Amino acid sequence: MIDLSLTQMAQGLASGDFSSTELTQAFLDRIQQHNSQLNAFISVTPEQALKEAAVADEIISQKQANPLTGIPLAHKDIFCTLGVKTSCGSKILDNFTAPYSATVVDKLAAAGMVSLGKTNLDEFAMGSSNESSFYGAVKNPWDTQAVPGGSSGGSAAALAARLTPAATGTDTGGSIRQPAAFCGITGIKPTYGRVSRWGIIAYASSLDQAGPMARSAEDCALLLKAMAGFDPRDSTSLQRCVPDYPSLLKEPLQGLKLGLPKEYFGDDLNPEMAERLQTAIQELEKLGAQIKEVSLPLTRLAIPAYYVIAPAEASSNLSRFDGVRYGYRCEDPKDLEDLYKRSRSEGFGAEVKRRILIGTYALSEGFYDAYYRKAQQLRRMITEDFQKAFNEVDLLLAPTTPTPAFDLGSKNNDPVQMYLEDIYTLGVNLAGLPAMSVPAGQVGRRPIGMQLIGNHFDEGRLLNVAHQFQQVTDHHLQAPRLD
């Protein structure tokens, strides 16, 4: 059961081959068996999951099921979930139980899905390796000496290890796509505003976007259809019809123009990865796609722009965690100032404190114009670069990351080297574009990802290209062997 696609699971549930209770228990058993090795989950909710599965079985027996009814999933622990600890991977929220659920959580529950628990992440989604979590690093199931990517590394690792068939993630600078690439699964970051951010604990509000993570484009299409849509509670949510993504998957690729940004295929890219991607490009050409080289000349400036804008927004968003209203509070504060200082210094980890300090500095008097305003100007120019490229081609194809997954601990003492891991993903978030990562093979037995980037609201075409590619390749079907 655990190796079936979501569509196959739905068919098995409908035909009575197995029940949602049996399916859910199979994944709960697997979590119990392997999570101690991988540290992919922060919280597991077996009693709640089995209750939800029993309800789903009743709905299925009455022939009133949706396509996702009775199928388990896991939520990244940045989505508020009613009655369940929502920690953001931080000590400062270790004692916080959400009094409501995020819109995404409610939508997937309404679709009949069964929540297994909450997955591990870099603290407040700040990281590229899932090593900054208060609950410890997540291990990559393909090689437990390697990182799973971040910040949605817990979701990606759980999917690859077959601890869950579906998961949610958030992508602020590549945090769905990069771990998807490192763990050999499929993940899509939708257009900014396509999926509600209400109930997601904010890192950088103008960049954060929720999206689905699964094993295939077909599975992601089912999940995105359920997740997307306008939410009046989210001021950044867009009033736009949600396409029937699964119905678009079978469109032929004949005549599709795919652009290869030359800046993404330079010296930064691992040579063996370049070879695997060339093979993937040839497969897409066989399917009818036309390949053209394009240029995104401001690619290298995405990193400095992002690492001014995102920390600035984080500095503002994380000011609410002060030890007064909720979350961690220091012991025996001398006065209010001591309460603030010690609660925050003791509750936040090193990477979060680093970004708060950078953001506060960038927003301070005398430096706002020199840093923050200039970064926003660069953001506009990067967006214009993408639009010029889309005047020439339909979609862009690129590596998701410059290298396969790196070793645990290898970049902890050099934050700049860690930040450079996001060089191929950050521009998409700055421009608010949709993009996804698709498994494209392995280098040294570690998975690599092919990134597809679309113009605004082109999620359907991204999923279509990814699905057609996955019909002629089997990278997405590969699974790691666990002890």
Report the candidate in 334, 351, 98 with the shortest Cα–Cα distance to residue 343.
334
Is 133 an annotated catalytic residue?
Answer: no
Q: Which secondary structure element, helix H or strand E, spans residue 15, and what is its range?
A: helix 6-15
Could you tell me which residues come within 8 angstroms of residue 62 by beta carbon, excluding any fewer than 6 positions away? none
pLDDT for residue 345: 97
The DSSP secondary structure of 58-108, one letter per residue, reads HHHHTT---TTTT-EEEEETTB--TTSB--TT-GGGTT-B-SS--HHHHHH
Q: Regarding beta strands 290-294 and 257-261, do their DSSP bridges make them parallel or antiparallel, or are they unpaired?
A: parallel
Kindly name the residue from 90, 128, 133, 151 that is annotated as catalytic. 151
Contact 313, 204 (CB under 8 A): yes
pLDDT for residue 420: 87
Q: Which secondary structure element, helix H or strand E, spans residue 303, and what is its range?
A: helix 302-317
Span 382-412, pLDDT tens digits: 999 999 999 999 999 999 999 999 999 999 8
Give all domains of the chain, ordered by start, each with its CATH number. 1-483 (3.90.1300.10)
Burial class (CB in 10 A: 0-12, 13-18, 19+), 68: buried
Kindly name the residue from 20, 43, 76, 129 that is annotated as catalytic. 76
Report the candidate in 28, 29, 8, 30 with the shortest Cα–Cα distance to residue 18.
8
The helix/strand/coil state of 183 is: helix
**Alpha-helical segments (H) within 364-420:** 374-390, 415-420
Q: List the chain pLDDT tens, one digit each, 483 residues.
A: 999 999 999 999 999 999 999 999 999 999 999 999 999 999 999 999 999 999 999 999 999 999 999 999 999 999 999 999 999 999 999 999 999 999 999 999 999 999 999 999 999 999 999 999 999 999 999 999 999 999 999 999 999 999 999 999 999 999 999 999 999 999 999 999 999 999 999 999 999 999 999 999 999 999 999 999 999 999 999 999 999 999 999 999 999 999 999 999 999 999 999 999 999 999 999 999 999 999 999 999 999 999 999 999 999 999 999 999 899 999 999 999 999 999 999 999 999 999 999 999 999 988 999 999 999 999 999 999 999 999 999 999 999 999 999 999 999 888 888 988 899 999 999 999 999 999 999 999 999 999 999 999 999 999 999 999 999 999 999 999 997
Is 151 an annotated catalytic residue?
Answer: yes
Kindly name the residue from 155, 175, 315, 437 that is annotated as catalytic. 175
Is 175 an annotated catalytic residue?
Answer: yes
By residue count, the chain amounts to: 483
